[in-house]
Amino acid sequence: MDKAKAQAPRQHAARKGALRLISGVQDGVALSDQAGAISRLAPPDRARAQRLALSVLRNIDRADSLLVQHVSKKPRPEVLDLLRLATVEMLEAGEAPHGAVNAAVGLVRGMGPKGRAAAGMVNAVLRKVSVQGEAWRDLPPEEMPDWLRGSVIAAWGEDVTAKIELAHQNGAPLDLTCKPGLDAPGDPLPTGSFRLRDAGQISNLPGYDSGEWWVQDAAAAMAARVLQPQPEENIVDLCAAPGGKTLQIAASGAHVTAVDISAARLTRLRENLQRCGLSADIVEADALEWQPDTAPHAILLDAPCSATGTIRRHPDLPLIRDGSAVSGLVELQARLIDRAVSMLRPGGRLVFATCSLLPEEGEAQLAAALSRHPELRVEMPDLPGIAPEWITAGGGLRLRPDYWPDLGGMDGFFIARLRKPEAEHRVAG
């Protein structure tokens, strides 16, 4: 065996890992649930496999629009994914065409007799694609799926929708939240988070081992800031895992109880608390059934939702969801709001949040909650960095991926703070 063949498995490890991840997504499995697919790779290859998979998923339709010009019939799924990978490597990531084409040909030859038969086609197609850099740059961003795009257009119009899709195409930098009085690596953002565009290995960043900060998108961090936890308050974080908001509340000096139904996700929360030297009472329970011993001063409810606001970080989401679960999620959110209101002490405050672009999971959910609980009062957010145009007519906070375009965008979120009256309203008999 010659030296090049002996080195091929090592050279192709990250690409093979990326192809496994992409295939898993097409089978309906989220990237976050595919750790086992690349667990045997060395850490650098594992990180590269994830980056490659994310880039392909973020550009899958764009790649297909070029590839279709050069193939007479649709290739087998595994060959098509390989063509997509090489296309994105060359035209998006700037990989040298010679290396990307040779790697793709080597990989397809390793797919057995049918793969070897496709090697010539792969070589010819990718050489044609490799010179289409200008055409690639002229391609529009990936569109959101129809079930989501229609709702976004209805809410904010086609121009905003196009800007949101561009933000999705650009991806997401790394945002960090740090303990009060400390700084995290990166550039400070107007709302108090810190942002890194090229973070590299997260665990190698200064302050990681000493627990000075944790990873959290700037939009997500605003929910706990809107809650404004105070020292010594008793606060409940419902649907808490993986725990970024729990850490924020704990770092404020409040006593926080983190409730979540997922044991696996709570394990991550415990790990984050331990690394950061923070404490919280952790409860594995269904938030609809759990009851605190004493009524809390405040509750943060980051409710289960469609997660459509996170596509810039999770480009696999449009490929694994079809919108069919939204109505059930809206119903669950309403039940969770009612449950939170019932456990909150008089005068207490509730922050409801969803990482969704859909008004039915945000603006409409707030309006419905107020119709069921007319005694509640909406408190408009007044925090550093919040632009007036982010505040909705109903007093909520609507965050969108197209905001902060010069800074790298943010996740889509809806956040509202509600205040329970000091004394329960009584109906006169």
Starting from the edge strand earliest in sequence, which strands make up the sheet with 213-215, in order? 187-188, 194-196, 174-178, 213-215
What is the Cα–Cα distance from 418 to 322, expressed in whole angstroms? 31
77-88 burial: b if 16+ Cβ within 10 Å, else e: ebbbbbbbbbbb
Q: In this structure, are residues 217 and 194 in contact, taking their beta carbons and an 8 Å threshold?
A: no
Instruction: Give the angle 26-28-32 at the CA atoms, nearest 5°.
Output: 100
The C-alpha atoms of residue 279 and residue 273 are separated, in whole angstroms, by 6
C-alpha separations of 124 from 119, 174, 416 in Å: 9, 38, 55
355 is catalytic: yes
Specify the DSSP class assigned to residue 359.
G
Which residue type occupies 175? D
d(CA 33, CA 39): 12
The DSSP line for 9-43 is HHHTHHHHHHHHHHHHHHTT--GGG-GGGSTTS-H
Q: Is 28 left (phi over 0), alpha (psi -120 to 50) or beta?
A: left
Cα–Cα dist 353/350, whole Å? 10
Compute the distance between CA of residue 368 and CA of residue 416 in angstroms, rounded to an integer.
13
Q: 31 and 54 in contact (C-beta within 8 Å)? A: yes
DSSP 62-102: HHHHHHTTT-SSPPPHHHHHHHHHHHHHHHTS---HHHHHH
| Distance from the Cα of residue 291 to its chain's centroid | 30
Among candidate residues 178, 239, 305, 355, the one labeled active-site is: 355
Mind telling me the catalytic residues? 355
